Amino acid sequence: MSCPYTEQEIGAYLDGELDLTSSLQLERHLGTCEACSRALARQRALHEAIGEAGLRFRPSPELARNLRRASGAGLAAGRWASWPRLQAIAALLLVAVASWSLGRVWPPRPGPDLTDEVVASHVRSLLAGHPADVASTDRHTVKPWFTGKLDYSPVVVDLAGRGFPLTGGRLDYVGRHPVAALVYRADRHVINLFTWPDAYTSGGSGPGLAAASRQGFHVLHWSRAGMTYWTVSDASEESLRRFAGLLNSP
Ligand SMILES: [Zn+2]
């Protein structure tokens, strides 16, 4: 069986370095390819092990990547943990620990980039063809649907009169937590609004809007009354800012 992906590409995927289309293609492939799934699982396990070791010393992202890549024999060779590989890992670990011992301080790694996560969730919801698990324009239907599915109750606001009709909600998984995704529309554009308690992701950005864009999607992020909000859409930035402003007004 021939496989189009290399260990490097799987590593790049894990590092969030692939573009959206390539990521989605690889994810689709992972569903059907046991070798790549195993390679991903192994790289991820090592990634986590390095992360835990990072509590004691901080490997640079480049070193972390080298460690992961060193741990994987080429997919084509099909040798997963040959002795020379293990020696290479041991040598790299020694270098890492030695660097740490010398008091070298690497810059702290940033937390998981939620911007990428919410954009990926937004795109997946569109690709899946059903952005909502509960399809309703009535917030009195959407809000109770989350009861028992989450350990908090999302704030669901009706903005139909302001040009942003609610169309439903679904459960999603962001920042290692199940979260509420509320689906609105701005004309024909789908807007996803993710919301969860600030404590899930160690605080929000405060009441001000933080803006970003990825692959043509606009992302806004704010925090209000102990809840964190992220909204994503391919609607115009102006339109999305108006939407966020309505939710974030006193
Ligand atoms: Zn494969």
Q: What is the pLDDT of residues 153-193, one digit of tens each?
A: 999 999 999 999 999 999 998 888 899 999 999 999 999 99
177 Cα–ligand 1 center, Å: 29
Cα-to-centroid distance, 33 and ligand 1 (Å): 5
The Å distance, Cα 23 to ligand 1 centre, comes to 13
192 touches 180 (CB < 8 A): no
For the segment 119-136, the average pLDDT, to the nearest whole number, is 86
CA distances from 197 to 151, 158, 235 (A): 10, 20, 26
- How remote is the CA of residue 3 from the centroid of ligand 1, in Å? 4
Q: Is the pLDDT of residue 216 over 70?
A: yes
41 alpha carbon – ligand 1 mean position (Å): 13
92 CA from centroid of ligand 1 (Å): 27
* C-alpha 139 – ligand 1 centre gap (Å): 44
- Residue 16 Cα to ligand 1 middle (Å): 18
- Is the pLDDT reported for residue 49 higher than 50? yes
**Quick one: pLDDT band at residue 125, thresholds 50, 70, 90?**
confident
Distance CA 85, CA 186 (A): 53
57 pLDDT above the threshold of 60: no
**Total-model pTM:** 0.57
Q: What is the pLDDT of residue 172?
A: 92
Distance 188 CA to ligand 1 centre (A): 37
How many Å lie between the centroid of ligand 1 and the Cα of residue 40?
Answer: 10
